[in-house]
Chain A
Amino acid sequence: MAGEDRGLAIAADVGIAAPSRPDALASGRRLPVAWLGVVPFFAVLALFLFVPAGEVLVGAFKGAHGGWTLDNVRLLFHQPYLGAYRNSVEISLVTALIGGAGGFALAYAALREGTPVWIRSLLTTFSGVAANFGGIPLAFAFIATLGTIGIVTQFLRDQLHVDIYGDGFSLFSKTGVEVVYLYFQLPLMVLVIAPAIEGLRREWREAAESLGAGSWQFWRLVGVPVLLPSILGATILLFGNAFAAYATAYSLTSGALDLVPIVIGQYYTGNVLDNPHLAQALALGMFVVLAATMLVYVPLQRRASRWSR
């Protein structure tokens, strides 16, 4: 019986290309069974990811009354949709840059020599929680803080006689959304960049110092070149993170701020579903932007991991 199995496996192997690994002989017969075992996994992905995503991407090119058209995609380059994209990109860019720089400064301050170890673990623990604290509760925490009757707003007005709303600030504007987004952008940066900073080995710094390099020279010639791919990659990740966000801005502005996800949502929660293909075209635009960020992020990450332990 065993011989028969072996014979079948060899016959199958001769039929295709000869495998180089010796144990492939034994697994040759079992291979189809193993493939059967991963069918449920691919079925789940196909049914609930590929088919819905494909429906959106194809639907973006369909007309309201059938047939193929570029009208929906063309509309994206006109108001108000162009403005929604501009707002989304602006908020994502601002929070990625400030979040990236601030998060790096925080992570470096916590990880550099001299900072007590308990501060490091406190920062990483808290970042793990805060990076996950988004959406509706986060929006309300800021309404309670910086809203028109927020605790800090009232404190500034009553005690320090500074009326931030009188000075043009509003939590429910683009600036307000940016302030709130930083609450998850900064900790995300800390989490993503901390391993890279830890990878900056102390020996490198000591070697540079013993060769007479100052702090500035060390950063210019060693620190920044080693960390740059990680910092760029993390900042791009932050951009995508803010670009895809929906709940926080929706809750904060009651769906009034024109961001791409909010405009898409209006087609489904409101009564304005006159052309679902336009919503699909808006979603296609998000897909294109996020795919572009991933195309930049993945090679950067690969390069950054060269120095990771």
Chain B
Amino acid sequence: MRRRIAPSAVVWLVLGAAYFLVPLVATLLFSLKSNQTGKCCSLAAYGFFLHDGDFWHTLRLSLELGLETIAVALAVFVPTLYLVHLRLPKLRPVIAFLALIPFVVPPIVLVVGMLDVYRGAPSWFYGQPWGFLVASYLILVFPYMFFSLDAGFRAIDVHTLTEAAQSLGASWPATLLRVIVPNIRSAALGGSFLALAVVLGEFTIANLAQFHTFPIFIQYVQESQAYGAAAVSLVSFGLTWAAMLGLLVLGRRRGARPTLVAGAR
């Protein structure tokens, strides 16, 4: 017997949809206002930032920081989780516990510590986003990478795959890169999309350490150019959509449920 949708469910869903859609629609309408008249409709706000060198510059910086964070995170976490699942199973609960610590040490606390510890560090690390920011972002993405990769490793038979590869004469690097990595590819990609969403939206650490990333640019536009800020906010929302949809498409193909949340609060 097929039941019909309950009336109270309709009320809740309509209320929820209104709360979530009204700000998006309002931001769109706001971004279409003309700078001169304050009336609808003009695409000037979009033209303004598309021709702004800082927009492209900071967006590119944030994307590159995201890619570097993902590359370093995968290079560190994948071999570690492989060894943990293959040889050091007792270490797994320890790492799972450590993955909770970034929730207790939020970005604002982390950046205070990082600034205090590395103030005297060489400028190639302390003065460069490639050093200081990526080091901090590694910690921010650690829990998401860990939970994603750990699920990937649990879904495959690490021991059998390794023995098969070794008995065919594969070296350790070949086993890892050509046998294990292809088998955890979608878990690694899932963790990477979350990491990208984190880095593209990260404001706290970049602001306190004074690096000019994309979110800092949005904040700057917001203080100086209202309609342009609405346009940039929508672009940023679109980027989050893209990263999350990538994650969902991936999850659907594997039948896994991507419920992780990587916030830039």
Contacts and interface: CB of A to CB of B under 8 A. Distances in A.
A-B complex is real: yes
Contact of A52 (B113, B197, B219): B113
Contacts of A22: none
Contacts of A264: 108-109, 112
Given A40-B76, A55-B116, A261 B108 contact: yes
A270 B241 CA distance: 34
B139 A45 contact: yes
Given A140-B233, A191-B261, A53 B110 contact: yes
Contacts of A182: 19
Contacts of B91: 38
Nearest to A49: B139
B165 interface: no
Interface residues of B, number: 91
B104 interface: yes
Interface stretch (A1-9, A159-167, A224-232, A290-298): A290-298
B117 interface: yes
B153 interface: no
A109 B58 CA distance: 41
B256 to A, nearest CB: 12
B222 A132 contact: no
B215 A135 contact: yes
A268 B240 contact: no
A37 B88 CA distance: 11
A244 B101 CA distance: 13
Given A38-B88, A265-B108, A132 B262 contact: yes
A145 B6 contact: no
A159 B219 CA distance: 31
B109 A283 contact: yes
Tier of interface size on chain A: 35 or more
A149 B139 CA distance: 39
Contact of A265 (B197, B208, B232, B245): B208
Contact of B116 (A56, A108, A152): A56
Interface string B184-223: 0000000000000100010110011010000100110011
Interface of B: 2-6, 8-10, 12-13, 16, 19-20, 22-27, 29-31, 76-77, 79-80, 83-84, 86-88, 91, 98, 100-117, 135-136, 138-139, 142, 197, 201, 203-204, 207-208, 210, 215, 218-219, 222-223, 226, 229-230, 232-234, 236-237, 240-241, 243-245, 247-248, 257-259, 261-265
Interface of A: 27, 30-31, 34-35, 37-38, 40-41, 44-45, 47-49, 51-56, 59, 102, 105-106, 108-110, 112-116, 119, 123, 125-126, 128-145, 149-152, 182-184, 186-188, 191-192, 194-195, 240-242, 244-248, 250-251, 254, 261, 264-265, 268-269, 276, 279-280, 283, 286-287, 290-291, 294, 298
